[in-house]
Amino acid sequence: MKVVIVGGVAGGATAAARLRRLDETAEIVVFERSHYISYANCGLPYYIGGVIEDANELTLQTPERFDARFNVKMKVRHEVLAIHPDTKTVEVKNLETNEVFSESYDHLILASGAKPLLPPFEGLDLEEIFTLRTVEDTLKIKDYINHHDIRSVVIAGGGFIGIELAENLKELGLSVTVVQALNQVMTPFDPDMAAFIQSEMRLHGVQLKLGAAVEGFKKTEQGIDVLLKDLPAVHADLAVVAIGVMPDTKLAQDAGLKLGIKNSIVVDDQMRTSIPNIYAVGDAVQIQNYITKQDTLISLAGPANKQGRIVADVICGKESHYKGGIGSSVIKVFDLTAAATGLNVTSAKQMGLDVDYVVLSPMSHAGYYPGGKTMVVKVVFEKQTDRLLGAQIIGYEGVDKRIDVLATAIYNQMHASELKDLDLAYAPPYSSAKDPVNLAGFMIENIHDGQLKQWYLDDVDRVVHDETIMRLDVRTPEEYAQGHVNGFTNIPVDELRNHLDKLDPAKPVYLMCHSGLRSYIASCILKGRGFDAYNFTGGYSFYRAVMQETKLMECTSACGMEQTK
């Protein structure tokens, strides 16, 4: 059996190694057009920033080591030019010698990945404009910074690569501006949660221009101007385009394979394409969203590696299936950790789902143990079915642990209220007896039981101006004096029972406290006395953080528009 693999990074290298473990006699040939195989895309920004000091650490394997261990012919600097399914051959070009030759296969695996999305911007060919996708891209950026007087950088795009690169360049002491066409960074997060990421970036000196679309680049005597639609240009010494990726599937398209979203390769759950004996894995393929069963694209290393293993199993006769992805991810943003899994509220509503969510701000570990830090947890669920749909967490410690628990719960199709039943590890330095995941389950169960009614950030304007309702802030007078929402009367929760005569039982009561806990207790008191009470999910701390970022965005946008007049 002879297997040819196009692409030697995540999915391709995994498939090759798994094939060898399952079949010692198979002939395995991998063609990779770059100089490197099995490299860590996610680590590239950290080499530019100096966190990873040795470029060799970016590659998990060299072609020589891979061949020695797995007896796989790793052909770097070889580009596959065409696939000929009728003769079961591929046409290959040696990029070092320009020799073109034909290679036969019994099974062909396409692991061509994705390529940077590059709209037809003016000035893309300028030497100061870069993309970041491969090790070669990384070395070019690093070398350019080292050999030029670089003081300012513009990054077009606020996704994973853009945010990680912004942090690393800022840590080098450069002036960094992130330009994003959308009004938020990091679309796996809802706008309210993304506000925490944006605030952290601003806190560390990264300038954000949100809702600003790049239109091109122009050479100047001092560097380049990044041209923006309806806004003044931003000057920089260097720019990186990181506005997204698209499946790299020209080979598949030319060979007549069935294509899907954004020309991705359509595969079944065994990674088979529409042509026999041709398989595809990784960023180039269209997969199924595990939650909604809808077709989607997920460009992450985890799914690519799993798919590489599965395709090797299938070729070797094992019954193996890919069940879909939920898009679990985590990112470091200076001192913060931000993680997401499954659907956020924005995407769920776009799919027509009737959803609800809870926001809570628990400590990372037991409050009485020193060093605990607050995290913000948002859990999304379907109203009628209680189906757990997704979660987002932002904090400093324990974020990755909780998001993995929630991802596991989603994958196992748990109901959201069942989170309360999970038996999770507890010791004071690591968690609380009521873990944040359990607390989310308690809140969701209370909603389903009618014990808890919520109101939300989107309701603030209506609530503030509605004279048919009562508004109570149940924090201490000292907390209230430091900041509160206009129109809310202060009655501390511990004094509430003594002031019930001041409240009108005919009016609903909208409650707020710092995190949502004391206002929930207040809602229980009022509910027990016949009042219709609603608790603000997330609390005043959540409201203040999101609104501060929102006002800053509005001010920045207004100032930018004023400059164009």
Please give the pLDDT value at position 562: 46
Q: Give tens-digit pLDDT for 304-359.
A: 999 999 999 999 999 999 999 999 999 999 999 999 999 999 999 999 999 999 99
Q: In the chain, pLDDT over 90 holds for what percent of residues?
A: 85
Containing H/E element for 556? helix 539-564
Please give the pLDDT value at position 94: 97
Q: Which of 42, 316, 524, 555 is catalytic?
A: 42
Q: Would you mind telling me the total number of residues written for the chain in this entry? A: 565
What average pLDDT does range 250-267 have in this prediction?
Answer: 96
pTM: 0.93
| Predicted confidence band of residue 72 (pLDDT cuts 50, 70, 90) | very high
Q: Give tens-digit pLDDT for 6-40.
A: 998 889 999 999 999 999 999 999 999 988 787 76
Residue 104 has pLDDT above 50, yes or no: yes
Please give the pLDDT value at position 367: 83
d(CA 246, CA 207): 27
Handedness of CA 232, 138, 42, 94 (dihedral sign): positive
Q: Give tens-digit pLDDT for 202-244.
A: 999 999 999 999 999 999 988 999 999 999 999 999 999 999 9
| Predicted confidence band of residue 559 (pLDDT cuts 50, 70, 90) | low
Q: In the chain, pLDDT over 70 holds for what percent of residues?
A: 98
What average pLDDT does range 41-62 have in this prediction?
Answer: 82
Residue 91: what are its φ and ψ, rounded to 5°? Answer: -100, 125
Per the CB < 8 A criterion, the answer to whether 121 and 130 are in contact is: no
Please give the pLDDT value at position 279: 98
Q: Give tens-digit pLDDT for 461-471.
A: 999 999 999 99
Residue 565 has pLDDT above 80, yes or no: no
Per the CB < 8 A criterion, the answer to whether 243 and 215 are in contact is: no
Which residues partner with 339 through β-bridges? 330, 393
d(CA 549, CA 449): 34
Residue 76: what are its φ and ψ, rounded to 5°? Answer: -80, 160
What average pLDDT does range 414-431 have in this prediction?
Answer: 95
Residue 42 has pLDDT above 90, yes or no: no
Residue 197 has pLDDT above 90, yes or no: yes
- Higher pLDDT among residues 134 and 282, named by residue: 282
Would you give the DSSP letter of residue 40?
-
524: annotated active-site residue? no
What average pLDDT does range 70-74 have in this prediction?
Answer: 93
d(CA 212, CA 234): 11
Residue 258 has pLDDT above 70, yes or no: yes
Please give the pLDDT value at position 514: 95
The mean pLDDT value of the chain amounts to 93
Per the CB < 8 A criterion, the answer to whether 169 and 44 are in contact is: no
Residue 557 has pLDDT above 70, yes or no: no
Residue 170 in 3-state DSSP?
A: helix
d(CA 153, CA 144): 12
Residue 564 has pLDDT above 50, yes or no: no
d(CA 141, CA 147): 10
Q: Give tens-digit pLDDT for 73-91.
A: 999 999 999 999 999 999 9
What average pLDDT does range 431-447 have in this prediction?
Answer: 95
Q: Which residues contact 497 (CB under 8 A, 6 or more apart)?
A: 525
Please give the pLDDT value at position 556: 67
Residue 267 has pLDDT above 90, yes or no: yes
d(CA 287, CA 284): 10
CA dihedral 31, 36, 37, 39 (to 10 degrees): -150
- Whose structure tokens read 């395709």? 311
